[in-house]
């Protein structure tokens, strides 16, 4: 936890509601009437990918291009359709004899088709690619044929309805190896709604609506006890009834068609046993499967934003605060071996067999969904602390999960002497990894009427449709560049640009407009508002000084991570005892021991005293006069791949691993 995060923590936790008795709120038949108007109807909205283009000059552009030209383009739509066509008894494409190996042909059969629809739809919008537009339209048309051929009142999946019979407890029902059927249904429906939103495919909306109606009717036939049993996800660390973000996708459908049945069905997935304690501020996350419950809260937050339900509002906000401040690593990721640990565990013995910083930390899907949740909360209440976290997790986990040479993605991100494994199968993180690069465009800008929030400093060009403003952003802050905004087209009216001043600035930010210095109040973790009727050619120069800093682990003040501005630094530890290839199954190399991580020893707790810049590389540094760590090069975690590394270090400035002078230690 950083000094910044520590200084915020006491006030944050004090603001959480006291323990109480809201355990019976939410869920089927027990939700109180919503309080209308709690969430403003003109709340902020993310600017969709079709209005933002990434520009060359950042690691985000490089990864997006890798997927546009390589990884995403390499998928065969007919192999993605194989299991759907097989179930619907439709002919396969000549030469296609199977679907994709791995989980997509096993317990979450067909999930990659949903992820691919989401990724390809967004990539078509984000880059203008006709290839992906055409693939999306083709996939939707073929899925519609499968739905029609099945003739089951709107049912569509890559597996029989018996999987749901088994989930509901019907005698003799055989799930056929399908472990979490609603999880896959959500991916398909989300992909279809993305095809509608980003490619304009109305057939996709029709297919998704028919699916929603099928499952709404199916759930309506169950009594409250049955629904509670099948949607109770705290019975084991890896629940057999994980249902993904069903609440979120059904809420998204409601936002399109305003059919109240779809919102009612969405809220059947917001369970009282989970929502009630969260609304009261209780932290019962330890031992839960992290991504299962992050996904649930994404939907919870989306539903809360519709009508301001007070319990849902509190629960989704509290969940975010608990995860970010009590259950996250330095990179913004969370979970050990997919599970939340007790509050505060970071660098000490963990829920994963009491191992310390094992190789199973920080599942990528978790941060994928935490970014979605953060965006939902920002829509409700635009504030800089949300954007600060979004930046941390995006740069230091989601971006860092993609290999810059091949575009391959990872499941876990280890932190202490291990190395990444790049996936060769169809795991859950393979699917979210496909989506991540196409989503880079969407967290940069948010808008509301005539106000624009600039949350991320990533080279890009915004075409703000509602106002006509075209704004170009340049400068890579990960390399220490200043940020420059150029007004390409001014728009028809005055607008306010809210520029985020990050929490990490090392000295006061400065602003110039058309070369003239501006007197501004640019406090860290706040927004700087600039309002005028902008003219074509106006230039705004923003300087965000990035200093070196260390952040202490919550549970061990002598264990620190190192940052340069927004960027988490990782130390190069070589390739000793690594396999010839680091591509494989998600668990392929977990038993290979970690490399030793040298300690940092010195007389100062200021990393600027023992990190020297690497000539010619503004983002890299070398340990000097730092005891055993001397000579090791550290660079951005997102730049360090195919070798061992560490982002946590033991710092000894007191001769006995005591805290650094002046350090803040959580009590």
Classify the phi-psi angles of 494: left when phi > 0, otherwise alpha if psi is within -120 to 50, otherwise beta: beta
Band of pLDDT at residue 253, cut at 50, 70 and 90: very high
Query: 291 pLDDT exceeds 70?
Result: yes
Between 178-192, 326-340, 398-412, 643-657, the lowest mean confidence (pLDDT) is in 643-657
pLDDT of the residue at 655 = 56
Q: 477 CB contacts (<8 Å, ≥6 apart)?
A: 457, 483, 544, 546, 565, 566
Cα–Cα distances (Å) from 569 to 112, 463, 643, in that order, read 32, 34, 14
Q: 1 CB contacts (<8 Å, ≥6 apart)?
A: 9, 325, 330, 346, 551, 552, 553, 554, 666
Distance of CA 542 to the CA centre of its chain: 27
User: Is residue 253 within 8 Å of 193, Cβ to Cβ?
Assistant: yes
User: Is residue 576 within 8 Å of 667, Cβ to Cβ?
Assistant: no
User: Is residue 647 within 8 Å of 357, Cβ to Cβ?
Assistant: no
Q: 362 CB contacts (<8 Å, ≥6 apart)?
A: 329, 331, 333, 334, 335, 397, 412, 413, 414, 415
Tokens 């520009």 locate to 55
Distance CA 430, CA 414 (A): 17
pLDDT digits (tens, 9 = 90+) for 410-440: 999 999 999 999 999 999 999 999 999 999 9
Angle at 205 between CA 241 and CA 136, to 5 degrees: 90
pLDDT digits (tens, 9 = 90+) for 309-339: 999 999 999 999 999 999 999 999 999 999 9
Under CATH, which number does the domain 447-475+481-543 receive? 2.60.40
The answer to whether the Cα torsion of 352, 357, 363, 367 is positive or negative is positive
DSSP assigned state of 98? -
Tokens 């609506």 locate to 209
Q: 290 CB contacts (<8 Å, ≥6 apart)?
A: 327, 334, 335, 338, 339, 340, 363, 366
User: Is residue 441 within 8 Å of 40, Cβ to Cβ?
Assistant: no
Give the CA count within 13 Å in the CB-facing half-sphere of 535: 4
- pTM exceeding 0.85: yes
Distance CA 604, CA 653 (A): 6
pLDDT of the residue at 66 = 97
pLDDT digits (tens, 9 = 90+) for 439-492: 999 999 999 999 999 999 999 999 999 999 999 999 999 999 999 999 999 999
Any idea where the domains of the chain sit in the sequence? 1-27+269-401, 447-475+481-543, 548-652
């Amino acid at each position: 936890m950083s000094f910044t995060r520590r200084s915020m923590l006491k006030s944050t936790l004090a603001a959480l509601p006291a323990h109480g008795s809201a355990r019976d709120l939410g869920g089927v038949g027990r939700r109180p009437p919503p309080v209308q108007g709690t969430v403003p109807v003109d709340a902020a909205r993310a600017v969709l990918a079709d209005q933002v283009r990434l520009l060359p000059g950042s690691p985000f552009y490089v990864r997006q291009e890798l997927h546009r030209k390589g990884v995403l383009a390499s998928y065969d739509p007919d192999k993605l359709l194989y299991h759907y066509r097989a179930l619907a008894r439709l002919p396969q494409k000549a030469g296609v004899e199977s679907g994709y190996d791995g989980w997509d042909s096993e317990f979450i059969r067909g999930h990659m088709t949903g992820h691919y629809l989401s990724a390809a739809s967004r990539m078509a919008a984000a880059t203008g690619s006709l290839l992906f537009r055409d693939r999306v339209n083709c996939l939707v048309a073929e899925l519609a044929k499968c739905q029609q051929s099945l003739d089951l009142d709107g049912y569509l999946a890559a597996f029989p309805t018996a999987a749901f019979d088994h989930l509901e407890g019907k005698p003799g029902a055989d799930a056929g190896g399908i472990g979490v059927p609603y999880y896959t249904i959500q991916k398909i429906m989300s992909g279809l709604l993305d095809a509608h939103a980003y490619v304009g495919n109305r057939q996709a909306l029709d297919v998704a609506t028919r699916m929603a109606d099928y499952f709404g009717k199916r759930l309506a036939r169950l009594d409250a006890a049955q629904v509670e049993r099948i949607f109770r996800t705290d019975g084991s660390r890896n629940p057999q009834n994980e249902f993904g973000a069903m609440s979120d996708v059904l809420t998204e459908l409601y936002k399109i068609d305003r059919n109240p049945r779809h919102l009612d069905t969405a809220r059947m997935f917001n369970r009282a046993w989970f929502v009630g304690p969260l609304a009261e501020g209780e932290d019962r996350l330890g031992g839960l499967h992290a991504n299962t419950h992050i996904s649930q809260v994404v939907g919870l937050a989306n539903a809360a934003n519709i009508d301001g339900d007070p319990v849902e509002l509190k629960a989704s906000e509290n969940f975010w605060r608990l995860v970010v401040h009590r259950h996250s690593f330095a990179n913004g990721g969370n979970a050990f071996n997919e599970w939340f640990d007790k509050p505060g565990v970071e660098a000490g013995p963990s829920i994963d067999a009491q191992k310390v910083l094992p190789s199973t930390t920080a599942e990528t899907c978790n941060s994928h969904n935490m970014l979605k949740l953060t965006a939902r909360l920002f829509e409700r209440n635009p504030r800089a602390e949300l954007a600060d976290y979004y930046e941390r997790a995006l740069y230091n986990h989601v971006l860092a999960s993609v290999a810059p040479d091949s575009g391959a993605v990872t499941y876990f991100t280890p932190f202490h002497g291990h190395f990444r494994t790049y996936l060769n199968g169809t795991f859950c993180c393979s699917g979210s990894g496909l989506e991540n690069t196409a989503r880079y465009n969407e967290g940069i800008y948010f808008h509301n009427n005539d106000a624009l929030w600039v949350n991320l400093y990533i080279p890009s060009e915004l075409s703000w449709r509602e106002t006509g403003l075209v704004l170009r952003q340049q400068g890579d802050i990960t390399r220490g560049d200043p940020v420059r905004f150029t007004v390409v087209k001014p728009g028809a009216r005055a607008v306010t640009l809210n520029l985020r001043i990050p929490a990490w600035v090392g000295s006061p930010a400065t602003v110039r407009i058309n070369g003239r210095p501006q007197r501004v109040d640019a406090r860290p973790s706040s927004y700087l508002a600039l309002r005028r009727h902008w003219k074509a050619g106006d230039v705004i120069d923003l300087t965000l000084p990035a200093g070196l800093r260390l952040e202490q682990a919550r549970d061990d003040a002598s264990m620190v991570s190192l940052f340069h501005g927004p960027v988490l630094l990782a130390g190069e530890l070589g390739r000793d005892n690594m396999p010839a290839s680091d591509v494989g199954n998600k668990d392929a190399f977990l038993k290979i021991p970690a490399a030793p991580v040298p300690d940092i020893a010195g007389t100062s707790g200021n990393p600027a005293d023992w990190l020297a810049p690497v000539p010619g590389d503004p983002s890299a540094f070398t340990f000097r006069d730092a005891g055993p760590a001397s000579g090791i090069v550290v660079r951005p975690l997102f730049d360090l791949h195919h070798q061992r590394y560490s982002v946590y270090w033991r710092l000894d400035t007191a001769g006995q691993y005591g805290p650094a002078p002046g350090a803040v230690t959580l009590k």
